[in-house]
Structure 1
Amino acid sequence: MSEKKLNGQTALVTGANSGIGEGVAISLGEAGANVVVNYVVNPDAADAVVEKIKSLSSNAVAIQADVSKEDQVISMFQQVVQKFGTVDILVNNAGLQRDAKFHEMTLAQWQLVIDINLTGQFLCAREAIREFLRRGIVPERSIACGKIICMSSVHELIPWGGHANYATSKGGIKMLMQSLAQEYGGQKIRVNGICPGAIKTPINQSAWDTPEAYNSLMTLIPYDRIGVPDDIGKLAVFLASDDSDYITGASMFIDGGMTVFKGFSTGG
């Protein structure tokens, strides 16, 4: 049984009905938090995550909202406060890819990725910070007034040809995260980023679901394995807990060493 480091706190995880979001939501529930499982489509999957969290003796609820829509985000936070009284932790996880060569990329492909990946994080962070400031610090729950975890990517650092919209959104997340950490540190609101490398999720299945693809992927990863959502979940629990109270404005890379650029071990 894991230590209940988040007991009594409420966490909202966007895009939590699959992949990294699912793994993070379950880990937060295992650590004792009430968990709001946000989703857009596939409510059955969201309900399954809720039931898994409840089996860990934590409370959970699924709420549908498109994070790129201001009215839906505001309504979601209102529902969370009505259900649990407040929000202590936001995990800004919802994201997607719409890949294309840059000269062939449509405005719709560009805009959708920016709207979900970056504007969605703005809207959710804004509502979270408004709630944190309204509530103030509750010392028996946490030293901090609130915690925001922005799900970024190694591609906030590594350019990615053929994925300009996605990489641009992740670079923007880094600046958003750091700007919020700077602006609200004095109010004891901590804001950090998690930057996953290759994680075994549906969004990148083509990169790992055949032996040939997996072996090719390992040429980029010194630690010689693909990550799993539970790896990200454990880091999210740390960043949401008081164990990380002096960490804010940080991009935490969790990538098996991808960002040390394995190819250069033999001279590049």
Structure 2
Amino acid sequence: MGMLNRTDRPLQGKVAMVTGASRRIGRAVALGLAQAGADVVVHARQSRDEVEAVAAEIRAMGGRAAVALGDVTVEAEVMAVFDVARKAFGGVDILINNAAIRGEKPFLEMTLEEWRQTNSVIMDGAFLCSREALRSMVERGGGTVINLGGVSAHVGAKRRAHVAAGKAGLIGLTKSIAVEFADRNITANCVAPGKIGGKRSATSGASPEMGSGGPILGREGEIDEAAFVILSLCMPEARFMTGQTVHVSGGMYMP
């Protein structure tokens, strides 16, 4: 991948869990973490072939990977996913909460079920995965939680009120984890990508109309450009950064 352009393995001995790791940013982050020396648990809800392919790529570069399938909105399935991590590698030091669905629906046509389903994947998933990961991090003496937000939470988006609301909720969750676990050597940050190109999943929908003029750089971002920022926050040099939301959107939003 060459994403970090470093020859050392700063995450040697660490275990990372990446949810929604079968494609796009999740896949790139999983590969980058492995390149940096981490053992990686690659998760997907049900796309076993795709996630097994990611694990095979990690093993081909000399890394260690385990595959875990499960619905992040179902408590028992999340616990089973983390059991995979414990049995394979002894626990988790790094959690990337990347699993999400990004459907579209005009606000006045949105059903309560659609609202709840989207927010359940984003918020319930991040809560359940963070809780299990943090239990492990406390035992292991520290760790890193990275939540994947989105620019829509900051600028708004037509037909995506449910997504924007869920992603905004992740900011509060991130800050609360950062405060509560600071004295246990655990950091938590949120990365908010915007207008990242590449092939999208079926649940992503079209590119939404947002309350922003688009990236001021005049182009979509690359998947590796978003993954680089996420990976940087996992590095030993980033231990003084916590509770922050980092924007990777080409200037679509400037706090």
Instruction: Please state if 1:259 is matched with 2:253.
Output: yes
Q: Shift of residue 147 of structure 1?
A: 0.4
How many pairs align? 246
Partner deviation per Cα, 1:217-263 (whole Å, 9 max, x = no partner): x95111122112211221122111111010000001011111149xx
**Is 1:227 the counterpart of 2:215 in the alignment?**
no
Alignment of 1:65-104 (within 5 A): 65-104=70-109
Q: 2:166 is matched with which residue?
A: 169
Task: Give 1:161 deviation, angstroms.
Answer: 2.5
Would you identify which runs of 4 or more consecutive aligned residues in structure 1 move more than 3 Å?
203-208
Is the 1:39–1:63 Cα contact (8 Å) retained in structure 2? yes
Letter in 2 for 1:171: A
In the alignment, structure 1 residue 46 sits paired with structure 2 residue 47: no
Distance 1:186 1:42 in 2: 38
Partner of 1:237: 231
Structure richer in helix, relative to its length: 1
Following superposition, the deviation at residue 206 of structure 1 comes to 3.7
Amino acid at match of 1:168: A
Q: TM-score, normalised by structure 2?
A: 0.91
Matches within 5 A, 1:1-268: 2=6, 3-136=8-141, 145-200=142-197, 201-203=199-201, 206-207=206-207, 220-260=214-254
**Aligned 8 A contact 1:196 1:255 in 2:** yes
- What per-residue deviation string (whole Å, max 9, x for no partner) do you get for residues 24-65 of structure 1? 111111111111110112211111111111122211121101
CA distance in 2, matches of 1:68, 1:206: 24
Moved more, 199-208 or 97-106: 199-208
| One-letter amino acid of the counterpart of residue 184, structure 1 | F
Of residues 223-232 and 72-81 in structure 1, the stretch that sits farther from structure 2 once superposed is 223-232
- State the Cα distance separating 1:112 from its structure 2 match: 0.8
Report the AA paired with residue 38 of structure 1.
H
Q: Is the 8 A contact 1:148 1:190 kept in 2?
A: yes
Counterpart CA distance in 2 for 1:122 and 1:166 is 16
The alignment-based identity, stated in percent, is 32
Question: What secondary structure does 1:38 align onto?
Answer: strand
Q: Which has the larger radius of gyration?
A: 1
Q: What is the TM-score of this pair, normalised by structure 1?
A: 0.87
- Paired letter, 1:155: S
CA distance in 1, matches of 2:61, 2:213: 38
Q: Name the SS for the 2:41 alignment partner.
A: strand
- Structure 1 residue 152, shift from structure 2 partner: 0.6
Deviations 1:70-112 (A, max 9, x none): 0011111112011101211000000012211111101121111
* Alpha-carbon contact 1:28-1:233 (below 8 Å) kept: no
Q: Distance in 2 between matches of 1:224 and 1:52?
A: 33
Task: Give how far 1:205 is off.
Answer: 7.0
Separation (CA, whole Å) in 2 of partners of 1:159 and 1:175? 17
Unaligned runs of 5+ in 2: none
Contact 1:12 1:38 in 2 (8 A): yes
- Secondary structure at the counterpart of residue 259 of structure 1: coil
User: Letter of the aligned partner of 1:164 in structure 2?
Assistant: A
In 2: Cα distance, 1:12 partner to 1:164 partner: 28
- Where structure 1 has 5 or more consecutive residues not aligned to the other structure, the ranges are 137-144, 262-268
